[in-house]
Amino acid sequence: MYAFESYHRPQSLTDAVALLAANPFARPMAGGTDILVRLREGHKDYADIVDIHGLPELEGMSADRGELRIGSGTTFAALMTSSLATRLAPMLIEAAGWVAGPQIRNTATIGGNICNGSACADSAAPLLVLNAHLDLIGPEGQRLIPLRGFHLGPGRVERRPGEILRSVRIKSEQDQGLGTAYVKYSMRQAMDIATIGCGAGVRLRDDQSNGIVDELRLAFTVAAPTPVRCPTAEAAARGLPLSQAVKAVAEALDQDVSPRTSWRAAGDFRMHIIRTLAERMIRTAAKRFASSAANHQEARTC
């Protein structure tokens, strides 16, 4: 039994928005894998529930001119078995595989993973690298905003009162011209929260993996109070050959991240892991860029 104070199950998104607007303490709940845990811990902030689980308007995936739209109610398992998502956003699929375990992935939603504001959200690094946008709907209407900037602090996001995240939108990786890679560093290989999560997107100027870095996008979870992109490191890498770029990134990363010391891990250890993962993910992403560029080349010559 969960200690709900109030519970409403709207039948439409409009009703859900109205219920949320009417009760400023209420929270939307989709998969429940975060909220129900908090509630059991005795957090009163999670006791007033607007249950949006399974709302048809939040389900499903579609693509429109290379833009992938993922309904916020999409579970991680649904993402991982979607050929559309696998083709258009392989980095997000790679990250989804790191979420908890199979049962949680069968219920936890991408919308919840974004909106709970956690600094360790597994989907955050790939979505930041892929410059995802969020489609929110609220009492004032709809708005489309970049994910970057949505996280305000631990557990806090730029979701206005009454608003519900409807979908996540991502331009396909291929259209963005990136090779990508994601890894979660955690104490266990499953059922764990990230010590550090790292995602990289790389475009090289020629087709060699040791070519010049044309664009680097680098994002971390648990490296700061919110998931972050690394503008300084990204700028430092631009125009450098890969081997120099990774060194430049390692030196510049201090400016972008601020890992804290907690009982889970010390700040200096996290910083070391951040640097190590950055190098590994940039190299992997560059390798993937090169091989997909090579395949592309091959396809054209055939």
Partner 1 sequence: MSIGQPVTRLDAEAKVTGRARYTEDLLPAGVLSAVYIRGSVAHGRVLDMDLSAALALPGVEAVFTHADVPRLLYAPAGHPFSLDPDHADVADRLLLTGHVRFHGDEIGVVVARDELTAQRAASLVAVSYEELPVLTDPREAMAEEAFAIHPGGNIVKQDGFSVGGDVDALLAQADVVVEGEYQTPVTQHCHMEPVVAHAYMEDMERITVVTSTQIPHICRRVVGQALGLDWSRVRIVKPYVGGGFGAKQDVLLEPMVAFLAWKLGRPVRMALTREESMITRTRHAMRIRGRAGFARDGRLLAMNMDAVSNTGAYASHGHSVVSAGGGKLCSMYPHAAVRFHAATVYTNLPIAGAMRGYGSPQIIFACECLLDEAAKALDMDPLDLRRINAGRPGDVNPRSGKPIETHGLADCLRLGRERFGWDERRAAAQITQAAPEIRRGVGVACFSFNSGVYPVGVEISGIRLTLNQDGCVTLQAGATEIGQGADTVFAQMAAAVLDLPVTSLRVVSTQDTDVTPFDPGAFASRQTYVVGPAVKAASLELRARILNHAALMTGYPASALDLKAGSLVATRQPARVFMSLKELALDAYYHKNRGGQLTAERSVKTRSNAPSFGCTFVEVEVDIPLCRVRVTDMLNVHDCGVVINPITAKGQAQGGMAMAIGWALYEELLVDPRSGRVRNNNLLDYKMPTFLDLPDLDVAFVQTAEPSGGFGNKSLGEPPLLSPAPAIRSAVWNATGVKADFIPLTPKALFPLFRDAGLLEGAR
Partner 2 sequence: MLTLSCTINDRPHELTIDPRSSLLDLLRNQGLTSVKQGCGVGECGACTVLVDDTAVNACLYLAAWVHGKRIRTVEGEVRDGCLSPVQQAYVDAGAVQCGFCTPGLIMTTTAFVQSCREQGRDPEDITPEDIRRAHAGNLCRCTGYETIVQAVRQALEQPDPSKMDTESTAP
List residues binding partner 1 (CB under 8 A): 1, 3, 42, 101, 185, 187-193, 195, 250, 263-266, 268-269, 272-273, 275-276, 279
Bridge partners of residue 184, in order along the sequence = 197
Stretches 16-24, 97-105, 128-136, 172-180: which one binds partner 2 (CB under 8 A)? Answer: 97-105
Q: How far is the CB of 187 from partner 1 (least distance, A)?
A: 5
Q: Which helix (H) or strand (E) holds 257?
A: none
Classify residue 224 as exposed, middle or buried by CB count within 10 Å of its CB (0-12, 13-18, 19+).
middle
- Told to check if 3 binds partner 2 by CB under 8 A, we report yes
56-75: contacts with partner 2 (CB under 8 A): none
**Token representation of residue 280:** 């590994």
Looking at 23, 86, 107, 174, which residue binds partner 2 (CB under 8 A)? 107
From the list 1, 65, 141, 299, which residue makes contact with partner 2 (rule: CB under 8 A)? 1
For partner 1, the closer CB: 4 or 174: 4
CB 279: neighbour CB atoms within 10 A?
A: 18
Q: How far is the CB of 239 from partner 1 (least distance, A)?
A: 22
Are 191 and 122 in contact, with CB atoms under 8 Å apart?
no
Decide: is 4 part of the binding site for partner 2 (CB under 8 A). yes
Smaller CB separation from partner 2, 40 or 143: 40
Q: Does 191 bind partner 2 (CB under 8 A)?
A: yes
Indicate which of partner 1, partner 2, none lies near residue 104 (CB less than 5 to 8 Å, by partner kind).
partner 2
| CB 175, CB 71: distance < 8 Å | no
Q: Does 7 bind partner 2 (CB under 8 A)?
A: yes
Segment contacting partner 2 by CB under 8 A, of 12-20, 87-95, 116-124, 189-197: 189-197
> Rounded to whole angstroms, how far apart are CA atoms 229 and 64?
26
Q: Does residue 44 interact with partner 2 by CB under 8 A?
A: no
- Bridge-based pairing of strands 213-221 and 196-204 is antiparallel
- Asked if 27 contacts 8 with a C-beta cutoff of 8 angstroms, the reply is no
Q: Which of 21, 77, 235, 250 binds partner 2 (CB under 8 A)?
A: 77
Taking contact as CB under 8 A, which single stretch among the options 86-94, 100-108, 137-145, 155-163 is the one that binds partner 2?
A: 100-108
Instruction: Write out the DSSP string of 19-47.
Output: HHHH-TT-EEESS-TTHHHHHHTT-GGGS
- Residue 280 phi, psi dihedral angles, 5° rounding: -65, -45
Residue 25 lies near partner 2 (rule: CB under 8 A): no
- What amino acid occupies position 179? G
Q: In the block, which residue shows the tokens 């995240």?
A: 165
Rg (the chain; Cα; Å): 20
User: Shortest gap between Cβ of 294 and partner 1 (angstroms)?
Assistant: 26
Return d(Cα 99, Cα 167) in angstroms, integer.
Answer: 19
Q: Can you tell me which residue has the tokens 């608003």? A: 163
Distance of closest approach, residue 250 Cβ to partner 1, in angstroms: 7
* Dist. CA 125–CA 98, nearest whole Å: 12
Beta strands 164-171 and 67-71 are antiparallel
Among 17, 26, 27, 32, binds partner 2 (CB under 8 A): 32
Smallest gap from residue 83 Cβ to partner 2 (A): 12
User: Which positions touch partner 2 (CB under 8 A)?
Assistant: 1-4, 7, 9, 32-33, 36-37, 40, 51, 53-54, 77, 97, 100-104, 106-107, 189-191
